[in-house]
Amino acid sequence: MNIFKKIYCRIFQTIFRVAIPFLPYREPQILENTNDVIKTLKKNNIKSVLLVTDKSIRNLGLTHELENSIQNNEIHLVIYDDVLPNPTIKMVEKGLEIYNKNDCDGIIAFGGGSVMDCAKVVLARKVKPNKSVKKMKGLLKIRKKLPPLLAVPTTAGTGSETTLAAVITDDETHFKYPINDFSLIPHYAVLDYKNTLDLPKNITASTGMDALTHAIEAYIGRSTTKKTRKMAEEAVKIIVNNIKIVYDEPHNKDARENMLKASYYAGVAFTISYVGYVHAIAHSLGGQYGVPHGLANAIVLPLVLKVYGKTIYKKLGKLAKISHIASENDSDEIACKNFIDYIIELNKYFNFPNYIDEIKEEDIDLLASKAEREANPLYPVPKLMNKKQLEKIYFMLLKKNEEEA
């Protein structure tokens, strides 16, 4: 990247870092049990509630108890269960139409990141009826309080229940982009591990890797605070101690509870300290080919960390030491390398490939420009990269590398 662009990016990031104490960050109120949802709906005087979810969650029966108790308490229940992974503008508009038609006055988002993100943007469109989803892209385009939003995560990964971000895909251009606004932080987060017990193994692994990526990217970036460093450290320690357990023993309650906590901590960390190129690349792959977000992150993470090189020795080395992936006496360089090897080993454990099957060589130019546009100048990454440098990472992700190896 040329020096002028670098200076521009770093000044932009410094302004945001200096502004952190003055910005209206908040955390959702935590509810530990799904049964507390009814009390909360009543407290907020909600007469008609939209339950945003997806078909597989409903088919698993996860929402049944809640649906019954809403109806038994004479609150009008409307269900929108057509959200799919990588939610699109069309899905948001459909949700809004149902919300308006039924005079809803709040949303319960019951699901993974896609469901929560879709619900956030439905409410953003509700309070900004004249602003299209496309126009909400980027930073602080909503700036208006949303009706009550209760987030009930069913995966331990996205952290969307606490973040100010919602990631939406444009149906036509396949551009997948984050919308960031303080008003998108849910008012309530229901951290009930029981909702995660039936999560399939591969999703348990990929969403767990998403949470790990949030914690790492927030921590190695240049806009951390004392609080976000602490949150990210805690998240990494918990994930390292629990991710294989939840994968091997899906019904291990303690491990599930711990992962949900870690995912939340990582969410708090990156909502203030941002993510980095791993996410920008993962979003481009999700938008273009529908690659699941957590899986894309897991595969891209070690490659980007290697490219960051010595700029992250100290910070990633520290994460390795506090989570006992490296010993106290190891040099920062060795500890950092140990952490990257650990991630590669985890990916193998989960049977994740080390390439992205869907990438076509001719798409790399477009993919890299999308990632570049998302990350620069916003993400305070440890080492700035331009489009050409990002392209190299996509080439490393091609399947043919695997075949040649």
Residues that bind Zn ion (CB under 5 A): 210
Q: Hunting for tokens 């509870």 — which residue is that?
A: 257
Residue with tokens 């399947």: 399
Task: Select 192 or 210, whichever has its Cβ closest to Zn ion.
Answer: 210
**What is the smallest separation between the CB atom of 78 and Zn ion, expressed in angstroms?**
29
Asked if 161 and 128 touch (Cβ cutoff 8 Å), the reply is no
Q: Identify which of residues 161 and 210 has a Cβ nearer to Zn ion in the complex.
A: 210
Judge whether 247 and 203 are in contact, CB under 8 Å: no
Q: What angle do CA 348, 215, 4 make, to 5 degrees?
A: 105
Which is closer to Zn ion, CB of 105 or CB of 210? 210
The DSSP bridge pattern shows strands 107-111 and 149-153 to be parallel
Structure tokens at 278: 């791993």
For residue 159, how many C-alpha atoms fall within 13 Å in the half-sphere facing its CB? 31
Q: Pick between residue 31 and residue 367 the one whose CB is nearest to Zn ion.
A: 367
| φ, ψ (nearest 5 deg) of residue 143 | 45, 45
Choose between 263 and 376: whose C-beta lies nearer to Zn ion.
Answer: 263
Q: How far is the CB of 263 from Zn ion (least distance, A)?
A: 10
Q: Are 178 and 375 in contact (CB under 8 A)?
A: no
Least distance from Zn ion to the Cβ atom of residue 165, Å: 9
Integer Cα distance of 232 and 300 in angstroms:
19
- DSSP helix/strand/coil, 329: coil
Q: What is the nearest approach in angstroms of Zn ion to the Cβ of residue 279?
A: 6
- Residue number, 50 or 381, with CB nearest to Zn ion: 381
40 vs 207, which CB is nearer to Zn ion? 207
8 Å CB contact between 86 and 290: yes
Q: How far is the CB of 41 from Zn ion (least distance, A)?
A: 29
Give me the sign of the Cα torsion angle 398, 287, 199, 82: negative
Confirm if 35 and 399 have CB atoms less than 8 A apart.
Answer: no
CB of 289 to Zn ion, least distance (A): 17
Q: How far apart are CA 105 and CA 270, in angstroms?
A: 29
Smallest separation (angstroms) from Zn ion to the CB of 285: 12
Tokens coding 193? 């591990």
Residue 210 or 391 having the CB closest to Zn ion: 210
Q: How far is the CB of 159 from Zn ion (least distance, A)?
A: 7
Shortest Cβ 269–Zn ion spacing (Å): 12
DSSP letters spanning 112-139 = SHHHHHHHHHHHHHHH-TTS-TGGG-EE
Helix (H) or strand (E) holding 333: helix 332-349
Residue with smallest beta-carbon separation from Zn ion: 210
Cβ closer to Zn ion: 77 or 296? 296
Question: Angle 213-209-167 (CA atoms, 0-180°, nearest 5)?
Answer: 65
